[in-house]
Amino acid sequence: MITLTVLLFARAKELMDRDAVSVAVPSPATVGDLRTHLAAAFPPLAVLLPRCVIAVNHEFAEDSHGLNPADEIALIPPVSGG
Amino acid sequence: MITLTVLLFARAKELMDRDAVSVAVPSPATVGDLRTHLAAAFPPLAVLLPRCVIAVNHEFAEDSHGLNPADEIALIPPVSGG
Amino acid sequence: MIRLTPDPIDYHALTDAVVRPECGGVVLFLGTVRELTGDVRTVFLDYEAYPPMAEKKLAEIEADARSKWPLGEVAIVHRLGRMHVGEVSVAVAVSCPHRAQAFEAARFLIDRVKELVPIWKKENAPDGQSEWVHG
Amino acid sequence: MIRLTPDPIDYHALTDAVVRPECGGVVLFLGTVRELTGDVRTVFLDYEAYPPMAEKKLAEIEADARSKWPLGEVAIVHRLGRMHVGEVSVAVAVSCPHRAQAFEAARFLIDRVKELVPIWKKENAPDGQSEWVHG
């Protein structure tokens, strides 16, 4: 198992009332694995998650992207800047 | 005959070295008639005239448009503002 | 707002003047005197207008744009006289509820100004030669 | 020039900063807080960003635009925090040799900013209700 920390923003941050969550996932882990474990560990995020993108080291990542504990991981709800 | 005064701008004004020219044309006169008489009376304008529009009372006018001495008539070279 | 002026254009004031609470998008276009046109170097330009007709055409262009887009405010200012490289010769500012409309309207306005308004410019080169630009 | 800032955007300085002698066209876009979105009245917006990623995305968007158009200068500034109706949340300014390019580039930049940059806004209505706007 590895522990991944995921930064939260906007509605995700409000739903969890915190800036980041940590979740344990079996190693090796992909972005897709992270999604599954996040939804299970944090039910308030489950509805929002399918509409979010996962960013890894400031880049949008596909579900097949591999993860390690040193990565900066963020949950990106649909953006609405401008 | 009626006498028509035609305002000049840009290259037309420079070619004639004045702001306006007057030309006598048989009455009734159209914009097309004015063109013919302007070219004959003021040879320096002859080359430029086909590229110009005639404005009558601040509106672009077709060659068929009728003219009278009270009209404000202007020779409009291709515009290049902006 | 339509204006011909011999003075430098206060495009900052123009921008502020078009901001409206119901309009989420503001677009400002500035035409500036460019140093090079093709291979020809310009030192300054002289702009001349046929003012009463130019003002009438500008007002018609504004009305035409207002019939096409839900414009909040519109400002078109053209400067006349002598301008050096980098100076602003024309400014168009618009506000619209949405940004796509604001871009389209501003583009339409400046395109029509250049096509329809009796204003002419003369390019003055470093060697003292000058020439009227005729469309 | 790319910037995220909690302070009011000095879009006048931004406009002046992009004027260049080789560029005849300058386009400035301002996104302002709109009072109404459909039937919903907004009193103020709260903008939040993921700053390091937002700055990276803004720089990528600028580079992408520079590969498509011969841009002189580019400035993109997004304000973060609380903004009331009429305040400027985002400003994009570009200069290009010709006006068509300037319009296209500015439009491209703001469209991409709204599509790709991790910034979010929460609408706050007069009754105290608030909601994150999610795309």
pLDDT of residue A4: 97
Instruction: Look up residue D85 and give its amino acid.
Output: V
In this complex, the residue of D54, D57, D121 whose CB is nearest that of residue A80 is D121
The rounded distance, in Å, linking the Cα atoms of D78 and D114 is 11
Nearest CA-CA partner of B10 in C118, D69, A25: C118
**Residue A15 is which amino acid?**
L
Predicted TM-score (pTM) of the model is 0.95
Residues 26-55 in C contacting B (C-alpha not used; CB under 8 Å): 31, 47-50, 52-54
- The pLDDT assigned to D35 comes to 87
ipTM above 0.85, yes or no: yes
Please report all neighbours of A, defined by 3+ CB atom pairs within 8 A. D
Distance from CA of D63 to the nearest CA of C (A): 22
pLDDT in tens, C75-119: 999 999 999 999 999 999 999 999 999 999 999 999 999 999 999
Provide the shortest C-alpha distance from residue C128 to chain B (in Å). Answer: 16
Is the peptide bond between B69 and the residue preceding it cis, with omega within 30 degrees of 0? Answer: no
> Cα–Cα distance between B50 and B40 in angstroms, integer?
13
Q: What is the pLDDT of residues C52-75, one digit of tens each?
A: 999 999 999 999 999 999 999 999
Continuous H helices in D33-132: 51-68, 99-116
End-to-end CA distance of chain B, in Å? 40
Higher pLDDT, D108 or D42: D108
| pLDDT given for residue B38 in this prediction | 97
- Tell me how close the Cα of C26 comes to any Cα of chain D, in angstroms: 5
Which pLDDT tens digit goes with each residue over A37-62? Answer: 999 999 999 999 999 999 999 999 99
Question: Residue C10's CB: how many other CB atoms inside 10 A?
Answer: 14
Q: Which of A7, A58, A80 sits opposite D120 (nearest CB)?
A: A80
Determine, for residues D132 and A77 on separate chains, whether the beta-carbon distance falls below 8 Å: yes
Q: How far apart are CA C107 and CA C27, in angstroms?
A: 9
pLDDT at D134 over 90: no
User: Any idea how long chain A is?
Assistant: 82
Q: Using the beta-carbon criterion (under 8 Å), do C134 and B76 form an inter-chain contact?
A: no
